[in-house]
Amino acid sequence: MDSVVSEVTDGGILPQWAFSCDLEVDYESEKHASMVYAALAVDKELQPDKVKRLMSVSDGKLSVHFEAVEARFLRASFSAFVDILTLATKAIEQFGPGVEF
């Protein structure tokens, strides 16, 4: 179990991972979702002490959960991830469902 570190601010005490968001992309194919997962899993967070990213694939859907210590880190991580996700998704679309990788 992760320990929770708190930060005291003017508004009170915030847990360390106070900001989070979830993203789910339905590829309608376990194979395509797994291919995108494999392509994105190699890129680790640049600041793992400030941002956590957890990914999973289930029923043809790629699910991603982000947590961050500050909103700006969450926004930057999410934005960079979506850029790469978009590129991977376009590659799947261009090569089509019948192409084997």
For residue 31, what is the domain's CATH number? 3.30.310.50
pTM (two decimals):
0.77
Conformation bin of residue 2: beta by default, left when phi > 0, alpha when psi is -120 to 50? beta
Averaged confidence pLDDT in the chain: 84
Asked if residue 13 is part of any domain, the answer here is: no
User: How many domains, the chain?
Assistant: 1
Task: Give SS3 for 85.
Answer: helix
Asked if residue 26 is part of any domain, the answer here is: yes
Mean pLDDT over 31-35 rounds to: 92
Nearest to 69 by CA among 21, 16, 11: 16
Backbone dihedral angles phi then psi of residue 16, each to the nearest 5 degrees: -55, -45
Question: For residue 34, what are the domain limits?
Answer: 19-95
Asked if residue 12 is part of any domain, the answer here is: no
Asked if residue 1 is part of any domain, the answer here is: no
**Per-residue pLDDT reduced to its tens digit, 64-90:** 999 999 999 999 999 999 999 999 999
Q: Which helix (H) or strand (E) holds 38?
A: helix 30-41
